[in-house]
Structure 1
Amino acid sequence: MTKMKVSFLGLGVMGYPMAGHLVSAGFDVTVFNRTTQKAKQWVEKYGAKLALSPSEAAKDADVVLMCVGDDNDVRTVAKEAIAAMNEGTLLIDHTTASATVAKEIDRVCKDHGLGFLDAPVSGGQAGAENGQLTVMVGGTERDYIKAKPLFDAYSRHSQLLGECGSGQLAKMMNQICIAGIVQGLAEALHFGQKAGLDCNAVIDVISKGAAQSWQMENRAQTMLNNSYEFGFAVDWMRKDLSIALDEARRNGSTLALTALVDQYYADVQKMGGNRWDTSSLLTRLK
C-alpha cells in the first residue's frame, strides 16, 4: 500500500513534534522551515525529507499541513504552497489565526480545486510532544475524513465544528476560557499567600472539587515556585486574545473579562515577561 505523501510547513515548538509524530505513524513526510538549520536538525532526528521552499515541499503531496506564526505568515506560505499543489490536494492550517484569513484561504483553495481545513490546536508544547493535542476543525466532512488519520497521529481528540473558519472561532473560545481561568488562579494564590495559608495544601484540597482545572493541575505549583521560563508565551497569548477581541467587535459579543486580562498580560510584558508562560499573571500581583 502506497504511503500518503504529506508535507509539513513550519517547524516551531508545535510543528516540530507534530511532524515527527507523522513520521512515526508511517506517513511519507517532507518538511519545510524558514530556518533551514532547524529543518536539517529535524531531518537528522526523524529521517524524512527536506524541502527548501513551501512550493518544493507541496509539489506532489497528497496533504499539505502548515503551522506558522500569524495571518500574514499564513497568507505568504499558503500562497506559495497552493501554486505548486495538484488539484484535489488538501491544505490544512494548524496556525492559530483569524477566521477571516481561514475563509480567505478557503476561497483561494476552491478556485484551485483544492480542499482546505482550518484546524488550530490546543494543548501546548507538551501536548504536541506527547501526541495529546486537541484539534478544532472547520471545513467539509469529506476533507475532515481525509485528514483524520493525520490528526490521530498527534492528537487525543479532533472534531469538525462547521464550515471553514469554525476551527479558528472555536480556538478563540478556548483562549477566552484560559485567560479567565489563569487570572482567577493567580488571584486565588495571591489571596492565599496574603492570608498566610499553605497554598500547596489548599491546592491539594480544592483541586479535588469544583475549582479544579487544567491550569490548576499543571500550573499552580510552578506559579508558587515563581517559575515561568517555559510553556505558552505571553506574546503568543496576546496575539490570540487580539484575534478574539477583533472578532468580538465584528460579531457584537461582549468580552469584558478577556479585554481586562489582555491588559494584565500587557503589564507582564512591561515587566519583561514577553516569553514567560501565561501563568505569569501572578507576578503582577506581587
Structure 2
Amino acid sequence: MTSSTHPRPYESVPSRAVAFIGLGVMGYPMAGHLALAGHRVTVYNRTAAKARAWVDEFQATVAPRHAATPREAAQDADFVFCCVGNDDDLRSVTLGADGAFAGMRAGTIFIDHTTDSANVARELSATAAQAGLQFIDAPVSGGQAGAQNGQLTVMCGGDRTAFDAMRPLALAFAKAVARMGESGAGQLTKMVNQICIAGVVQGLAEAIAFGQRAGLDIDLVLEVIGKGAAQSWQMDNRGKTMAAGQFDFGFAVDWMRKDLGLVLDEARRNGARLPMTALVDQFYADVQQMGGHRWDTSSLIKRLE
C-alpha cells in the first residue's frame, strides 16, 4: 500500500484526531487508510523505525506524526485504535504510566483490533469504564490483503453508542463493521470465524491431495467444483496456490495456532466440544515442526504429501 493509491473511494467522514497503536502487517495499512480518509493520525509502534517509516509514507496526508509512547499517542485523540499481538501486548500498551489509558481524555473510545481473549476484552472494558473511557473489542477478518485493500470485516463487542461513533471511521479500512453484543462478543465471534476456517482449510487440503493422487487436473477440478456447493473463500483464494505448494504469504501458521489456542481455552470454559478444531490445531503443530511457522495456513496440505 502506498499513500497515492487506494482501491475504493472513502466515505465522507469529518476529520478526527486519531491514534493508532501497533504497525504490524495489519495495523500499518489500517492506519494508512485512516490517514488517507482525512483523519489526523498519530502512530505508535514498539519499533520506532517502523513508525517513522509510516509517517514518511503518509506525509502527504493531514499532519501524520509518531509518538514515543502509547500515552503520548493517545493524549489528543478522539479515537485510539490498536492492533498488537496478544493479551500481554494489549495490556502493555493500555495500562501503566505510559499506557494509552493514562493519556486518554474522559469519553475517548479505545478500539482494539487485536485477536485476543474475550476475558482480556472484558477486563480492559471494565478498567476503561472506571477511568471514564470506552472500550470496543473489534477483531478483524480478511488478512493482510484485506487490510491493504480496505476490505476487512470487523466484529465488535461493547457499548452501542461507542460502537456507533467508531463505525464510520473503521469503514475507512473495512467493508463491514458489525456490533455482535457486549464486551467480549467481538472476540467470541472471531473465534467462531477461526473454527470455520480451520475445518475448511483441512477439508480443502485433503481434497486437493486426493485429487492429485487420483491424477486429476487440479486447477480444472477447482474451477468446476468452485461453481457448486463446495465453493469457499479458501478454495477461491488458496486452492491453486495449495496445489502449487506456494505458502510464502498470507496468514501465518504461528498466528493461526495462537488464535486456535484462544478458541480451545474458551471452549474449556464454556463446555463447547471442538474435536475437529483440536485436531487441526495439532496438524498445524506438525507444520510448525516442518519449519512452516510463517507459512500461510493453507500449508496444511504439506502434511499430506
TM-score, length-scaled by structure 1 = 0.99
Partner of 2:272: 253
Partner of 1:53: 69
Q: 1:96, 1:3 → 2: CA distance?
A: 27
Whether 2:204 is the aligned partner of 1:209: answer no
Partner of 2:43: 31
SS at match of 2:135: strand
Percent identity between the aligned chains?
Answer: 60
Q: 2:94, 2:112 → 1: CA distance?
A: 9
Of the three residues 68, 78, 89, the one matched with 2:84 is 68
Of the three residues 173, 176, 180, the one matched with 1:157 is 176
Partner of 2:31: 19
Q: 1:23, 1:4 → 2: CA distance?
A: 10
- The amino acid of 1:6's aligned partner reads V
- The amino acid of 1:62's aligned partner reads D
Whether 2:154 is the aligned partner of 1:142: answer no
Q: 2:298, 2:108 → 1: CA distance?
A: 40
SS at match of 2:29: helix
Could you say which structure has the higher helix fraction?
1
SS at match of 2:171: helix
**Larger CA deviation: 128-137 vs 79-88:** 79-88
Q: Which runs of 5+ in 2 are unaligned?
A: 1-12
1:156-179, Cα deviation, whole Å (9 max, x unpaired)? 001001000000000000000000
Offset, 1:100? 0.2
Partner of 2:214: 195
Partner of 2:55: 43
SS at match of 1:64: strand
Whether 2:102 is the aligned partner of 1:102: answer no
Partner of 2:6: none
Alignment of 1:203-282 (within 5 A): 203-282=222-301
SS at match of 2:102: helix
Partner of 1:167: 186
- The amino acid of 2:159's aligned partner reads T
1:210-240, Cα deviation, whole Å (9 max, x unpaired)? 0000000000111111000110000000000
Offset, 1:3? 2.8
Q: Which runs of 4+ in 1 moved over 3 A?
A: none
1:19-71, Cα deviation, whole Å (9 max, x unpaired)? 00001111110000001111111100012111111011010211111100000
Q: 1:160, 1:23 → 2: CA distance?
A: 24
Alignment of 1:74-89 (within 5 A): 74-79=90-95, 80-89=99-108
Offset, 1:257? 0.2
Q: 2:300, 2:274 → 1: CA distance?
A: 18
1:148-204, Cα deviation, whole Å (9 max, x unpaired)? 111110000010010000000000000000000000000000100111111111100
Offset, 1:129? 0.2
Q: How many residues align?
A: 286
Partner of 1:120: 139
SS at match of 1:153: coil
Q: 2:226, 2:136 → 1: CA distance?
A: 36
SS at match of 2:92: helix
Q: 1:188, 1:140 → 2: CA distance?
A: 43
Q: 1:150, 1:259 → 2: CA distance?
A: 36
Q: 1:127, 1:256 → 2: CA distance?
A: 30
Of the three residues 93, 109, 112, the one matched with 2:112 is 93
